[in-house]
Structure 1
Amino acid sequence: MRRRRWGWFGPQRNEPADETAAATGRQAMAQAHGWHYVPHDQRVIVGWPRTALPPGPVGRVCDAVFGDTHGRAFTVFDYAHRSARTGQGERLLVWAMELPGRAPYVRVRCPPGDTHDIYVESGDTDFALRLLSTEVREEIRRHAFTGFVVDSHLLIHTAAEGGPEGIEDTLKAMAELIEHLPEDLWSS
């Protein structure tokens, strides 16, 4: 009897080659660094602000890697979802890294190629202004991030929001960004 694999859009006989390659690559990366790999874990996104992920129905977490790097706990995963724009299935690479303390919701957007404008959405204007110190703005530009979300204890970034190429380079850039956050953010 042949087992059928259930995917995001119903039963599938075979996984697409790129999804299989992503799973194999993530497993190998996790093993090489002493991190942990799980094929699916919806608990990762429980409690996340909805704006941290693409609009539309909630998708699923695939090929998740958990671990510590550069002194920070992190999670990297593919977010398989149905695009609200096209209606087609898509996969988006997502990174989440632990912050030194708890923070209110802040969404940061920087137009691609714009070296001056940084837009912020937050219910706590004072925190958002302190978050975007000169050093933090320089790190955002240096790493070419075009957006991220700070919420609760996480810095959340997606591949659709610029940044370095590659999982490990993005983890390093996120850790460097966190290192430049003002220390007084966590004392209030």
Structure 2
Amino acid sequence: MRRPRLLRALVGDSSDPSGEGRAGRVDAPPVEAERAAERRELAETHGWTYTERHQGAIQGWPRTALPPGPLGRVHHELTGRHHGRPFRIFDYVHRGTSEGPWQRIEVCAVALPVLVPYVYIRDVPAADGSDDVYAEGPDTRFAVELLSESLRADLRRHGFTDLVLDRDVLICTSDGGGPADPESRLEALTDLVDRVPSDVWARWSRD
């Protein structure tokens, strides 16, 4: 059976752990020592794995899951399991333009129980100050069924504004709302996955 993509990426490429290659190291952003120490401490506390650089972590991801502009770099990656579900957390260091300053966002990706159609979920503010949650994707039937009233309530409860489901992974960045610290964000994302009824996952599985 083919290994889900998130799990394949967790293994990485031992010939080049960074996945950046020589060209990728030209004009590369610096690796922050303080950030590295924070992530190593988290890894030691929870029994997770820390990797300083791992460009292959985002191989094949949809561009909607990451900020616009030139492809950025993956720094300070944590991988492991939370409530039995594989995950990865990392810093995505990027530029809005090729000459712009380096910026950093945190990305958290949690494995889904099955392969599913692509869906982009977003919370859109209205002119009257209210908001509503929308799901967009090539298969609108899956988007509609996934975004039930209970899931909308969970998204608002956790404060998420942007999420992407792509094949076997749920992706959220620190620009997409939700809890600020990585442990709470991971807890919230696994909670969302677990609260989707199993028959919905089974009905839309592409396994």
TM-score of Structure 1 vs Structure 2, range by shorter chain: 0.7 to 0.9
Note if 1:49 corresponds to 2:66. Answer: no
Distance in 2 between the 1:86 and 1:141 partners?
A: 37
TM-score by structure 2 length?
A: 0.79
* Contact 1:93-1:158 at 8 Å conserved across structures: yes
Q: Deviations over 1:107-137 (max 9, x none)?
A: 0111369664112220010100111112211
Q: How many residues align?
A: 179
Note if 1:105 corresponds to 2:118. Answer: yes
Q: Which runs of 5+ in 1 are unaligned?
A: 1-6
Distance in 2 between the 1:11 and 1:84 partners?
A: 14
Q: Determine which of 101, 125, 137 is the counterpart of 1:88.
A: 101
Note if 1:125 corresponds to 2:140. Answer: yes
85 and 111 in structure 1: CA distance in 2 versus 1, 3 angstrom threshold: farther
**Which amino acid counterpart does residue 65 of structure 1 have in structure 2?**
L
Give matches, 1:60-75, under 5 Å: 60-75=73-88
Q: Determine which of 131, 136, 147 is the counterpart of 2:151.
A: 136
Distance in 2 between the 1:8 and 1:154 partners?
A: 28
* Contact 1:79-1:94 at 8 Å conserved across structures: yes
10 and 32 in structure 1: CA distance in 2 versus 1, 3 angstrom threshold: same
* Contact 1:131-1:182 at 8 Å conserved across structures: no
Report what 1:10 is aligned to.
Answer: 27
Note if 1:180 corresponds to 2:192. Answer: no
Distance in 1 between the 2:142 and 2:183 partners?
A: 29
* Contact 2:49-2:79 at 8 Å conserved across structures: yes
Bigger shift: 168-177 or 115-124?
A: 115-124
The structure 1 segments of at least 4 consecutive aligned residues displaced by more than 2 Å after TM superposition are 7-12, 84-87, 111-116
175 and 88 in structure 1: CA distance in 2 versus 1, 3 angstrom threshold: same
- SS for the counterpart of 2:115 is strand
Where is the strand percentage greater, Structure 1 or Structure 2? 1
Bigger shift: 25-34 or 106-115?
A: 106-115
TM-score by structure 1 length?
A: 0.87
86 and 160 in structure 1: CA distance in 2 versus 1, 3 angstrom threshold: farther
* Contact 2:161-2:176 at 8 Å conserved across structures: yes
